Amino acid sequence: MKSKNKKYDVVLIGAEQDIIFELNRSKHRILGYFGKKKNDCKIKYLGTFNKIEKYLNAHINSRLCISMGPTNRRKLFLNRFRKKIFTYVSNKSIVSKDIKIGLGSFIQAFCFIGNNVLIDSCCKINIRSSIHHDCKIGSCTDIAPSVTILGNVGIGQECYIGSGTVIREKIQIKNKVMTGIKSAVVSNIKSEGVYVGVPAKKIKNNYKRP
Q: How many residues does the chain have?
A: 210
Burial of 31 (0-12, 13-18, 19+ CB in 10 A): middle
183 closest CA partner among 206, 170, 160, 167:
167
Contact between 62 and 81 (Cβ < 8 Å): no
Between CA 52 and CA 151 the distance in angstroms is 39
Rounded CA-CA distance 99/87 in Å is 14
Q: How far apart are the first and last CA of the chain?
A: 31
CA distance 110 to 118: 18
Q: Which long-range contacts (CB under 8 A, 24 or more apart) does 29-33 make?
A: 31/59, 31/62
Global pTM?
0.92
> Sheet containing 45-47: which strands, arranged edge to edge?
45-47, 29-34, 9-13, 62-65
CA–CA gap between residue 79 and residue 71 (Å, rounded): 12
Query: CB of 133 within 8 A of CB of 154?
Result: no
Please give the pLDDT value at position 177: 98
- pLDDT for 26 equals 87
Q: Give me the sign of the Cα torsion angle 162, 139, 153, 186.
A: positive
DSSP class of residue 79 equals H
Residue 2 half-sphere exposure, CB side, CA atoms within 13 Å? 4
Given a contact cutoff of 8 angstroms between Cβ atoms, the answer to whether 64 and 85 are in contact is yes
Bridge partners, residue 136, by sequence: 118, 154
Per-residue pLDDT of the chain (210 residues; tens, 9 = 90+): 444 457 889 999 999 999 999 999 888 999 999 998 888 888 999 999 999 999 999 999 999 999 888 999 999 999 999 999 999 999 999 999 999 999 999 999 999 999 999 999 999 999 999 999 999 999 999 999 999 999 999 999 999 999 999 999 999 999 999 999 999 999 999 999 999 999 999 999 988 877
